[in-house]
Copies of this chain bind each other. A is one copy, B any other.
Amino acid sequence: MSANSKLTIAAHALAWIGLYQRQGHEVATSEQIATSANTNPVVIRRLLGELRRAGLVESRRGVGAGWSLARELESMTLLDVYEAVEPGPLFAMHRATPDQGCVVGHGIQPAMQSVYEAVEETVRHELARVTLANVLRDVLAAPR
């Protein structure tokens, strides 16, 4: 099973903030988003902190604090979000380095590496095709 719900939650948070701002509000709080995503506000703050480092959102402190978009949803793709929150590769190599004295043990990692790089490239390409505005539109189009 995959381990990665971060991209899902990040998209959820961005769509939520975007919709909230369209309704005329200035900022959204981590608690509001956490309620919608059914998780803890700290989890949301951590995640949005990564998105802030990537320049996708901004945060304000003090009274009336909260989060706002740093760019239009139209100019944000899922690839931007993916790169902001996903550090590692999709497929992993051996956890312990294979026997370098064996021909296969020696050559398998570079062989798989090149395949995995090609795969990840297509994944990035596919994610880059979807903007967060697309996501929000689809969210609103979901049947009741």
Q: Which A residues lie at the B interface, using CB under 8 A?
A: 1-5, 7-9, 11-12, 15-16, 19, 35-39, 78, 87-99, 102-108, 110-112, 114-115, 118-119, 122-123, 125-127, 130, 135, 138-142, 144
Contact = CB atoms under 8 A, between A and B. Distances in A.
Given A2-B91, A107-B138, 10 more contacts: A2-B92, A5-B94, A36-B98, A36-B102, A37-B98, A38-B94, A110-B142, A111-B141, A119-B126, A122-B123
A111 B135 contact: yes
User: Main secondary structure on chain A at its contact with chain B?
Assistant: helix
Q: Indicate how many identical chains form the complex.
A: 2
29 contacts: A1-B3, A2-B89, A2-B92, A3-B3, A4-B91, A4-B92, A8-B92, A8-B108, A12-B98, A12-B104, A15-B104, A15-B108, A16-B102, A19-B104, A35-B99, A36-B102, A37-B94, A38-B94, A38-B98, A38-B105, A103-B139, A107-B138, A107-B142, A108-B139, A111-B135, A119-B123, A119-B126, A122-B123, A123-B123
A97 B62 CA distance: 31
A130 B115 contact: yes
B104 A139 contact: yes
A140 B105 CA distance: 10
